[in-house]
């Protein structure tokens, strides 16, 4: 018995999934395009943080804001933290909630892309958008007089805070999106975002909240904001904020893995 051969110049079908890295890269590119095309997500990701930064610097004298390191130097790390929270929590929760409602996640779940690949693709898109946010906000802050003392320790500390903050808030965003209906996710994500922005010590230090300050240090928003300030203002590795963010990331991931439904 002879083995059938394929004539020269023709193709033999070879069905199979692409390599895992290729799948994740393609998913990350698609997620990035979806985030950048959504006007509401851009509003949360860039416009609101910039309004907080510029408005806070311009209104500091009128409302009596006074910080030891100057207004723009103190607000900029907090606004960078706010941008991370906007993208990794609110934008991710809303987008995932409606993908779940319209059956997008269900269809992706039936594709060769594993669930871990889908999550890695979303995280990759978040990190890319956050890079654009950091560049944009930093350029505006520099124009307003921000003068960071950048060193290797400062950059590494801030990077560690951003990565753990993204992990913590992404897990919490997916927790909401995977358990609530899309409309409820939209309302809950925006409400939590506003509450944390106003009272979660993300933009201004925990010391500005009086007796409530120690409580804010245990919130993911407070840990993210305080960690960015410790790194960018003091050039120190923010050990306590990193531990708080790691704890929130672990709890959020555990709860999400047990409760997330794909439809």
Query: What is the count of structural domains for the chain?
Result: 1
pLDDT at residue 238 in the model? 92
In a domain, 18, yes or no: no
Alpha helices, H only, the chain: 20-37, 39-42, 48-63, 71-85, 92-101, 104-109, 115-143, 152-177, 182-199, 213-216, 220-234, 239-259
- What is the rounded average pLDDT for all residues in the chain? 84
- Separation in Å, CA 69 to CA 74, 117, 209, 232, 243: 6, 43, 18, 11, 25
In a domain, 8, yes or no: no
| Residues 218, 206 contacting (CB under 8 angstroms) | no
In a domain, 183, yes or no: yes
Low-confidence ranges of the chain (pLDDT < 70): 1-17, 38-41, 61, 63-67, 108-116
In a domain, 158, yes or no: yes
| Residues 140, 54 contacting (CB under 8 angstroms) | yes
pLDDT at residue 65 in the model? 64
pLDDT at residue 15 in the model? 61
In a domain, 5, yes or no: no
Residue 138 is part of which domain span? Answer: 23-259
pLDDT at residue 12 in the model? 64
In a domain, 15, yes or no: no
Query: CA dihedral defined by 161, 163, 167, 168, rounded to 10 degrees?
Result: 10
In a domain, 47, yes or no: yes
In a domain, 145, yes or no: yes
Rg of the Cα atoms in the chain: 21
């Amino acid at each position: 018995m002879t083995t059938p051969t394929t004539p020269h110049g023709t193709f033999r079908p070879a069905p199979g999934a692409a390599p895992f890295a290729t799948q994740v890269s393609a998913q990350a590119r698609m997620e990035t395009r979806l985030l950048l095309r959504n006007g509401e997500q851009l509003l949360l990701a860039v416009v609101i943080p910039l309004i907080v930064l510029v408005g806070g610097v311009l209104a500091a004298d009128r409302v009596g804001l006074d910080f030891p390191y100057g207004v723009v130097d103190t607000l900029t790390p907090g606004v960078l933290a706010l941008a991370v929270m906007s993208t990794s929590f609110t934008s991710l929760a809303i987008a995932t909630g409606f993908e779940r409602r319209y059956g997008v996640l269900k269809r992706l779940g039936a594709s060769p892309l594993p669930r871990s690949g889908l999550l890695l693709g979303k995280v990759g898109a978040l990190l890319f958008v956050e890079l654009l946010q950091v560049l944009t906000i930093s350029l505006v802050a520099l124009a307003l007089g921000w003068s960071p003392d950048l060193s290797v320790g400062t950059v590494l500390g801030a990077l560690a805070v951003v990565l753990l903050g993204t992990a913590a808030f992404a897990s919490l965003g997916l927790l909401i999106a995977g358990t609530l209906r899309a409309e409820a996710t939209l309302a809950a994500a925006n409400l939590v975002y506003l509450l944390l922005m106003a009272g979660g010590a993300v933009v201004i230090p925990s010391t500005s909240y009086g007796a409530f300050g120690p409580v804010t240090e245990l919130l993911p928003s407070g840990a993210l904001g305080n960690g960015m300030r410790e790194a960018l203002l003091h050039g120190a590795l923010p050990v306590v904020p990193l531990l708080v963010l790691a704890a929130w990331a672990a709890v959020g991931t555990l709860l999400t893995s047990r409760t997330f439904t794909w439809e």
